[in-house]
Structure 1
Amino acid sequence: MELELKRGGCSARIATLGGELVSYRDAEGMEYIWGGDPAYWSGRNPLLFPIVGGLRDGNVLADGQICTMARHGFARRQEFTVTETGPDWARLELRENARTLEQYPFPFRLQVLQKLEEKGFSTAITVCNTGPRTMPFCLGGHTAFRCPLAAGERFEDYAIEFEQREDCPTLVPVEGLLDRTRIRPCLEGTNRLELSYHYFDEMDTLIFTGLRSKWVCLHSGTSGRGVRMHFDDFPVLALWSVPGKRAPYLCIEPWHGLPPVAGEGPQFRDKAYCILLEPGEERTMRYWVETL
Structure 2
Amino acid sequence: MQFELSYRGLRAAVDSHGGELVSLRDPAGTEYIWNGDPAFWPGRNPLLFPIVGNLKGGQVLFNGQPYEMSRHGFARGLDFSPVEQDANRVVLELRESPATLVRYPFPFSLRVCHALTEAGFSTAFRVENTGDAPMPFCIGAHTAFRCPLHSGERFEDYEIVFDQPETADMILLTPEGLVRHDGREPLLRDEDRFSLDRAVFDRLDTIILEGLRSTGVSLLHRETGHGVRLDFTGFPMVAFWTKSGCEAPFVCLEPWHGCAAADNEDGEFFHKPHCITLAPGEIRDLCYTITLM
**TM-score scaled by length of structure 1:** 0.98
Deviation at 1:265, TM superposition (A): 2.1
- Counterpart CA distance in 2 for 1:223 and 1:246 is 22
The one-letter code of the counterpart of 1:32 is Y
Give the corresponding residue for 1:28. Answer: 28
Deviation at 1:272, TM superposition (A): 1.2
Q: Aligned letter for 2:174?
A: V
Q: Which moved more, 1:30-39 or 1:255-264?
A: 255-264
Unaligned runs of 5+ in 1: none
2:287 counterpart of 1:286: yes
Structure 1 residues 217-226 or 245-254, which shifts more? 217-226
Alpha-carbon shift at residue 271 of structure 1 (Å) = 1.1
Aligned-pair CA distance for 1:174: 2.1
SS at 2:260's partner residue?
coil
Q: Shift of the alpha carbon at 1:57?
A: 0.5
* Residue pair 1:215, 1:232 contacting (<8 A) in 2 also: yes
* Residue matched to 1:208: 209
For residues 93-242 of structure 1, what are the structure 2 equivalents within 5 Å? 93-176=93-176, 177-242=178-243
> What residue number does 1:264 align with?
265
Conservation of the 8 A alpha-carbon contact between 1:265 and 1:271: no
- Is the contact made by 2:56 and 2:263 (CA closer than 8 Å) also made in structure 1? no
* Paired position in structure 1 for 2:79: 79
What does 1:13-92 correspond to in 2, within 5 Å?
13-92=13-92
Distance in 2 between residues matched to 1:135 and 1:281, nearest whole Å: 9
User: 1:179 offset after TM fit, Å?
Assistant: 2.1
Q: CA RMSD in A?
A: 0.9
Whether the aligned pair in 1 keeps the contact of 2:181 and 2:264 (CA below 8 Å) is no
Matches of 2:187 and 2:4, distance apart in 1: 39
C-alpha distance after superposition, 1:170-215 (max 9, x if no partner):
0111243212431111111100111110111000000001111100
Separation in 2 of the partners of 1:241 and 1:100? 29
Say whether the 8 Å CA contact 2:61–2:267 is kept in structure 1: yes
Q: TM-score, normalised by structure 2?
A: 0.98
Q: How many Å separate the matches in 1 of 2:248 and 2:110?
A: 31
Q: How many residues align structurally?
A: 292
Secondary structure at 1:200 match in 2: helix
Taking the aligned partners of 1:285 and 1:173, their CA distance within structure 2 comes to 26
Amino acid paired to 1:218 = L
Taking the aligned partners of 1:159 and 1:169, their CA distance within structure 2 comes to 17
Provide Cα deviations, 1:99-143, integer angstroms capped at 9, x if missing partner.
101110000000000000000000000000000110010000000
1:66 positional shift: 1.5
Native 8 Å contact 1:153 1:222 kept in 2? no
Task: Detail structure 1 runs of 4+ shifted over 3 Å in the superposition.
Answer: none
What SS is found at the alignment partner of 2:217?
A: strand
Q: Which amino acid aligns with 1:226?
A: G
Cα distance in 1 for residues equivalent to 2:229 and 2:104: 34
Q: C-alpha separation between the residues in 1 aligned to 2:114 and 2:226?
A: 23
Report the 3-state secondary structure (helix = DSSP H, G, I; strand = E; otherwise coil) of the residue aligned with 2:201: helix
> Structure 2: where are the runs of 5+ without partners?
none
**Deviation per residue, 1:69-88 (Å, 9 max, x gap):** 11000000010000100100
Opposite residue 62 of structure 2, the aligned amino acid is A
- How far is 1:222 from its partner? 3.4
Does structure 2 conserve the Cα–Cα contact (< 8 Å) formed by 1:138 and 1:257? yes
Q: Once structures 1 and 2 are overlaid, which stretch shifts more, 182-191 or 274-283?
A: 182-191
Secondary structure (helix, strand or coil) at the match of 2:47 reads coil
Contact 1:166–1:187 under 8 Å retained in 2: yes
Amino acid at match of 2:18: G
Report whether the alignment pairs 1:276 with 2:277.
Answer: yes
